[in-house]
Amino acid sequence: MERNDLIDFKALEKELQAALAADEKYKRENAAKLRAVEQRVPSYEEFRGIVLASHLKPLERKDKMGGKRAVPWNWHATRGSAFQDVATEICQEKAPFQPGTSAEFYRDWRRHLRSGPERYQALLQLGGPKLGHLFQTDVGFGLLGELLVALADHVRPSDRAVVLGILHSLANTGRFTLNLSLLSQAERASCQDLFQKLQAMGTPKPTQEELIRDESNVKEQSDEVQEEEGLLKELLGLYQVH
């Protein structure tokens, strides 16, 4: 067997560990979100605090506040853990953004896609149908707001149809109404801004020369315009934008 055909089992094991950890984090936060809803927490800040602290465990009697501890009480805040070393190594390898599950999306979105333009291009690359498939059960806690912010900050007229498709797919994911109600004020403002931009962009109407030159093509474009405008009107209601 040639050297290039050898399988790097160590790298595969590290990738698996990172994926399992991301999946566990997603399930833990989702369970905390459901508990917070059942408890009817009075504010978004308290709800967010419950979810973000879902990895913490209560102290036992044997635990002491002073002295040396072999294991920190909040290991997520520790920089020197073995898992974070693995995550750092994987992060350095710039792989294409091709998540196969919602947990993989959540992991790579937070770890590899740090800038707004990167996130926007990743959403366009995946498109509405793929995103709808990944999040058919539920969009992870806080993720819907981040998606809307990325779209609002970087949407372009040429991408209008794709962005509308993404918004439509997200609106059909599980517990969409709940996730929409949990948007922060800044995220709600971005959502409003996104739809204002989409409305302002519109779709350019054909010129008189284009009408004369190709009537069949113009009719097809006119049908597409009407379809987009109808979808936009539907989305305004789904996202509760007035």
DSSP 55-122: T--PPPTT--SSS--SS-S-GGG-TT-HHHHHHHHHHHS------SSHHHHHHHHHHT--SHHHHHHH
Predicted confidence at residue 158, as pLDDT, reads 94
Q: Please give the share of the chain, as a percent, with pLDDT higher than 70.
A: 66
Please compute the mean of the pLDDT values over residues 188-197 and round it to a whole number.
Answer: 96
Predicted confidence at residue 89, as pLDDT, reads 44
Residue ranges per structural domain of the chain: 7-52+81-238
Please compute the mean of the pLDDT values over residues 157-166 and round it to a whole number.
Answer: 95
CA distance 77 to 145: 24
CA torsion sign, 84 to 46 to 141 to 190?
negative
Q: Is 139 left (phi over 0), alpha (psi -120 to 50) or beta?
A: beta
Residue 97: pLDDT above 50?
A: yes
The closest alpha carbon to 121, from 133, 132, 109, 111, belongs to 109
Distance linking the first and last C-alpha atoms of the chain? 64
Please compute the mean of the pLDDT values over residues 57-81 and round it to a whole number.
Answer: 51
Predicted confidence at residue 42, as pLDDT, reads 67
Residue 191: pLDDT above 80?
A: yes
Whole-model pTM: value is: 0.58
